[in-house]
Amino acid sequence: MRLRRSLGWLLGALLWSLPLCAQQGAITESQARAFGLDQNAALQLSQSRLGQVPSDHLFRDQNGQAVRLGQYRGKPLLVNFIYTGCFKICPTSSRALRRAVDAMRDRFGVNQFQVLSIGFNQPDDSPLALRTFAAQQGIDDPNWALLAPRAEDVPALAADFGFSYVPTPLGFDHTLQVSVIDADGRIHAQVYGDAFGPDSLGEPLRQLLTGAAALQPSSFADLIDKVRILCSIYDPVTGKYRVNYSMYLEIAGGLTFILAMLVFVVSEWRARRALLRTRAG
């Protein structure tokens, strides 16, 4: 009798689930696209945020610690949005971003920039979910934080970065972008796609690292870092940055010219002084 009841309950559960499975299986890609983003509007929104400074939003990081966006100022910053329930696009783009970050750290330096991945599907993208996602994608970087915003802050946060997303029957359709932020918290560039490379991200990042503000070294080691970054070039064959020796030669030539001009000016000044003294005597 007990076995009959168990079988009856199981059969009922299976029959109840069939319409749901059939409904999910009936959703085609063309139907899913009907729920998707207006790509032109999303691009316009994203581009409109260039030069803007996002508000100082509050988050919890993957360890559950409270942090604010403003804490990450002082260095260039790469920011992307993910949702941990995504089974294809977010993992693919995150792994591509990780490879690009590894390549850029190898050439630019480990501590030259920071990375933030923000889980926008709240409350599902909890610190635990983000920590698990990081482990699955091989993200193990002390300068890469995964952040969970408050659910009520997500719309304003997304608007600040020009990030667009809409729910669909298959999850979310959202902008695939990395925002490149300068040391003052201003959006410098938006890089798009799901296969982020060290070339597409590296060039705007290198611009920031070798910009006017960045060329004010606080130590000799910092000066060496700036010169190394300035003399780096992307090699599409290896997919990494390498030394651009022609830049070193140009810098050496420039320094030699400046030194020669200084020697000439000092020599002329001394000669003029000597001439004036002779006339005065």
How confident is the model over 121-154, as pLDDT tens digits?
999 999 999 999 999 999 999 999 999 999 999 9
Distance of alpha carbon 42 from alpha carbon 164, whole angstroms:
6
pLDDT of residue 32: 40
Q: Is 258 left (phi over 0), alpha (psi -120 to 50) or beta?
A: alpha
With a threshold of 0.75, does the pTM exceed it? Answer: no
77: which strand partners?
114, 181
| pLDDT recorded at residue 193 | 83
For residue 261, name the pLDDT band (cuts at 50, 70, 90).
Answer: confident
| pLDDT at residue 48 in the model | 95
List Cβ neighbours of 171 (8 Å cut-off, separation of 6 or more).
83, 85, 86, 87
Instruction: Count the residues in the chain.
Output: 281
Confidence band, pLDDT 50/70/90 cuts, at residue 184: very high
DSSP string, 180-230: EE-TTS-EEEEEESSS--HHHHHHHHHHHHTSTTTT--SSHHHHHHHHHHH
Q: What is the mean pLDDT of the chain?
A: 77
Beta strand residue intervals within the chain, DSSP E: 58-61, 66-68, 77-82, 114-119, 144-149, 165-168, 171-174, 177-181, 187-192, 232-235, 240-243
Q: Give residue 205's pLDDT band: very low, low, confident or very high (50, 70, 90).
A: confident
For residue range 213-248, list pLDDT tens digits in order.
Answer: 444 545 545 545 555 555 555 556 666 655 554 554
CA–CA separation, 92 vs 231, rounded Å?
31
Q: Which of 121, 104, 122 is nearest to 113 (CA)?
A: 104
DSSP one-letter code for 85: T
Which CATH number, 1.20.1250.20, 3.90.79.10, 3.40.30.10, 3.30.70.260, labels domain 33-217?
3.40.30.10
Tell me the pLDDT band of 254, cut-offs 50, 70 and 90. low
pLDDT above 70 for 109: yes
